[in-house]
Structure 1
């Protein structure tokens, strides 16, 4: 599964921001802004809901981009397909 940190790093780079620039845009102190973002990108820290919303707003994406799991392993697709078939009517 693609982690929060990997999603954050991709979106930061896509927006041509350094870790320090993103951290400062988030309101973190200048002297620790890059360290905080590095911690989130390496999954040492996982943001709470309010900070997750701020990341979303700052990077211009819906919060679901961060919170909805993204499958990345073929087994995950197989299992998801199984459950979609088994529970299809309940999922609609």
Structure 2
């Protein structure tokens, strides 16, 4: 049975992976939306947009409630927690 000290050591060991998980889920977005989600060509910027707005957009794309060329297919590959993590990441980025 793990002791509280062992649990703390485990949490400390996993902390770097938890901190990296949020940007990793957002990596799939930067290919089209540009570095840090700053926008690219005619593709809109994600950086600095409200987290709730980004979650609502991705959820609408995933449910085919918002028209798109590719985003409906892309959004279906993300779970709710992944969408929330990516949205939090881009909401925390500086606007371009």
TM-score under structure 1 normalisation?
Answer: 0.30
TM-score under structure 2 normalisation?
Answer: 0.30
